[in-house]
Amino acid sequence: MTLIKNDVNVEARAIEAKKASKKLIILSKEEKNQALLHLADVLEREYETILAANEKDLANGREKGFTDAFMDRLSLSKERIAEFAQGLREVAELEDPTGQVISDWTLENDLQVQKVTVPLGVIGMIYEARPNVTVDATGLALKSGNAIVLKGGSSAINSNQAIVEVMHRGLEGTKIPKEAVQFIASTDRAATNELFTMKEHIDVLIPRGGGKLIQAVVENATVPVLETGVGNCHIYVDKDADVEKAISILVNAKTDRPAVCNAAETLVVHKDWLAAHSDELIAALKENHINVHGDERALEVIPGAVLAGEEDWKNEYLSTDIAVKVVDNLTDAITHIETYGTKHSEAIVTENSEAAEKFMALVDAAAIYHNASTRFTDGGALGFGAEIGISTQKLHARGPMGLPALTTVKFLMKGTGQIR
Amino acid sequence: MTLIKNDVNVEARAIEAKKASKKLIILSKEEKNQALLHLADVLEREYETILAANEKDLANGREKGFTDAFMDRLSLSKERIAEFAQGLREVAELEDPTGQVISDWTLENDLQVQKVTVPLGVIGMIYEARPNVTVDATGLALKSGNAIVLKGGSSAINSNQAIVEVMHRGLEGTKIPKEAVQFIASTDRAATNELFTMKEHIDVLIPRGGGKLIQAVVENATVPVLETGVGNCHIYVDKDADVEKAISILVNAKTDRPAVCNAAETLVVHKDWLAAHSDELIAALKENHINVHGDERALEVIPGAVLAGEEDWKNEYLSTDIAVKVVDNLTDAITHIETYGTKHSEAIVTENSEAAEKFMALVDAAAIYHNASTRFTDGGALGFGAEIGISTQKLHARGPMGLPALTTVKFLMKGTGQIR
């Protein structure tokens, strides 16, 4: 295995990706799919190479005292690598998002106009611990005819590098040039920063990871960014909320998988509902080991709650902690969500359809729920197939992003000498 | 009329726009259209107020010695203002781009999912001389349910301010609050820069003007940008180009309206075609007063041509000057376009369909033409109705942008207590 050095020529990697992207554009969907299937077989076959590299990352991680949860995300096994391969096979099955004619028409002068989907070109993927992103993102990029430049987190650098080396061997003998998958084998943050401004060679940056990583990319990149993932999601329990629905939705959204972005972080609750149903709420919070950080009115009602500050309203806990804000009315609930939400997923629980309609119209987020858990904001749950991430921005793609988010369009004009 | 001061509180203007945008979201299409029609009537009625302010800008312009072309773009008349009003009436006629259900389906658990188009929220419009943008952009923003913050160029500030004041009166008595149209009455560049980072209040920035303005916005803004307009467009005349088509397309693309972004700036010509048809080409260039900046091989053939440097390949002339690059083959033509093009509009003239297909597949631009003039990259020419601008970026919208570019989507999920 190659040693990790920090003198990677990032620009050279990006230029190679751009060149390879030109070769990808003209491949048929069959050629791309065959390459993906071959990639999957080779990954599965060469799992030992990957596990050996993963062992180094795990040893480094133990030395650095990483948490168990972190070590679990980092850790690979024969089975997990087989899952990666299976993921690639599923991507091969998906509809090709490129070459689709969105519209076509003929002008009065007989100029034929076609609007067709085409690959974006080169995707820059900047991500943290999980080595599965190396495979998943590569599969989605290649399927959609894009080259990819991968910059993973330093804690998984040996695993990621080994995965890329195996994938390069997997692309040999296929129509996809191995230069279409570039890996920045550097633990140096400056290497990441170089990607931020490489507009000439990289068409889009996709950061995946914590809020700080995403903020750094959004604030510093001149390359367009597909912003994903930070979800400070709220459950608003309205005056007219059904008690059973409210409690089951709250508990599900908070505790099913607390560390994911569509988990709830704040309960916004109408004062009258709280007054009427505090017993049921308190019992459910206790039973599910949910720790409450509440405003003063919440503290009066919920035993053991600690006083919430600005940070509690703003940040994701990604744990079984929850912030509780008591409001006088729907408008105050919406204002709180507008002030602190991240435009990801927001829910109202109510039997009052007027309140539900107002909430759904006025709250500005990718997904708005009436009487359901925020946990459904997910490409898999919605039936989109593989997911690049969940966009919390408004341009290009919003909400769960599948393969079409990795394409753009071209107008193709066929004439016989038309002038204006 | 209000005096122009440079102590505008830009953030306060943006916050007002954000508040107003919440009121716009819930208006019906009829309410928005009625407001636009009323706006049109009031603009037409109060043309004298606008002309008086325009006179001040013209006087300033004369003092500063602006060019005739610039003064012409700045100058308003009763007729031009009537055209602005007519433009608003045409926008009212267009289909409402919001509230459209793009897809809807029901999950196995009976959760109903709807993907619908909604306004972006607040549009920040940063533009140069032409005061018509003040009206056009406002009309498109309001029609699509967005509030707008206008920051026009200082040379038209009196005209723009008067137009906005008249529009504010035009919105009185309609359902659109006048706060939905905000004007930054400042000639201070710092006021523009403040808009760049106002992510909380502004959802998208649209710069319209020269390349420098657009670059400044793209490089400095953290608010998402819709990049428009710089067009360094090429006509590639292939070995197998028909002479008549080649010359008529070249002349049209270069001279029909040299100052627009879809005009041609460079002729890339195959050496064999040039050798065979230099007489016809030279005659056409001469007849149409086109000045040639050529590479060395072009200079050998075209009398009076001056030697082209890097700047000639890179920049828009926006005049009847043209750069001429002689190439050995299609691949070199594509490489030249990739190196210097701005991904706007690129054309190939050839009778060879294989060459045409290769060019159309490999050249990366919003619009690619085979045997037609680049001048058709235009919302009007393509039948899109009003146009926000021509996007040269790949994300969100590419090519001529109509009203749909001013919308995003929301996933609306209606449940009966579904949890995951």
Is B408 part of the contact surface with chain A (CB cutoff 8 Å)? yes
ipTM: 0.91
Q: What's the CA angle centered on B15, arms B139 and A237, to 5 degrees?
A: 105
Query: Cβ distance A109 to A136 under 8 Å?
Result: no
Q: Tell me the residues of chain B between 349 and 368 that have a Cβ less than 8 Å away from chain A.
A: 360-362, 364-368
- For chain B, the average pLDDT equals 94
Coil, strand or helix at A327: strand
Structure tokens, B148: 């707008």
Is A101 part of the contact surface with chain B (CB cutoff 8 Å)? no
**Bridge-based pairing state of the strands B112-119 and B122-127:** unpaired
Q: Taking CB atoms and an 8 Å limit, are B376 and A120 in contact across chains? A: no
Per-residue pLDDT reduced to its tens digit, A53-110: 999 999 999 999 999 888 988 999 999 999 999 999 999 999 999 999 999 999 999 9
CATH 3.40.605.10 in chain B, residue ranges? 10-228+396-414
Is B180 part of the contact surface with chain A (CB cutoff 8 Å)? no
Structure tokens, A55: 């062992």
Distance from CA of A398 to the nearest CA of B (A): 6
Task: Identify the closest residue of chain A to B340 by CA–CA distance.
Answer: A200
CATH 3.40.309.10 in chain A, residue ranges? 233-380
At residue B5 the predicted structure's pLDDT band, cuts being 50, 70 and 90, is: low
Q: How many pairs of residues across A and B have Cβ atoms under 8 Å apart?
A: 182
Q: What is the pLDDT of residue B104?
A: 96
Q: In A, which residues are within 8 Å of B413 by CB distance?
A: 367-370, 372, 376
Per-residue pLDDT reduced to its tens digit, B122-159: 999 999 878 999 999 999 999 999 999 999 999 999 99
Go through A56-86 and write b for each residue having 16 or more CB atoms within 10 A of its CB, e for each that does not: bbbebbeeeebeeebbebbbbeeeebeebbe
For residue B369, give the nearest of A368, A377, A415 by CB distance.
A415
Per-residue pLDDT reduced to its tens digit, A108-143: 999 999 999 999 999 999 998 789 999 999 999 999
Per-residue pLDDT reduced to its tens digit, A318-350: 999 999 999 999 999 999 999 999 999 999 999
Write the CB contacts of B370 (distance below 8 Å, at least 6 apart in sequence).
A412, A413, A414, A415, B347, B348, B349, B350, B356, B359, B360
Question: Is the domain defined by B10-228+396-414 classed in CATH 3.40.605.10?
Answer: yes
Q: In A, which residues are within 8 Å of B248 by CB distance?
A: 417, 419
| The total number of residues written for chain B in this structure | 420
Per-residue pLDDT reduced to its tens digit, A207-251: 988 888 888 998 889 899 998 878 999 999 999 999 999 999 999
Report residue B14 CA to chain centroid gap.
23
Best of B199, B354, B395 to disrupt the A interface (most A CBs within 10 Å) is: B395
A389: left (phi > 0), else alpha (psi -120 to 50), else beta?
left
Average the pLDDT over A7-35 and give the result. 95
CATH code of the domain occupying B233-380: 3.40.309.10
At residue A198 the predicted structure's pLDDT band, cuts being 50, 70 and 90, is: very high
Q: Taking CB atoms and an 8 Å limit, are B373 and A224 in contact across chains? A: no
Q: Taking CB atoms and an 8 Å limit, are B395 and A226 in contact across chains? A: yes
Q: In B, which residues are within 8 Å of A393 by CB distance?
A: 224
Q: What is the pLDDT of residue A289?
A: 97
Per-residue pLDDT reduced to its tens digit, B178-200: 999 999 998 888 888 999 999 99
* Beta bridge pairs of residue B113: B105, B413
Q: In B, which residues are within 8 Å of A364 by CB distance?
A: 121
Is A104 part of the contact surface with chain B (CB cutoff 8 Å)? no
pLDDT at B2 over 50: no
Best of B314, B376, B407 to disrupt the A interface (most A CBs within 10 Å) is: B376
Is A15 part of the contact surface with chain B (CB cutoff 8 Å)? no
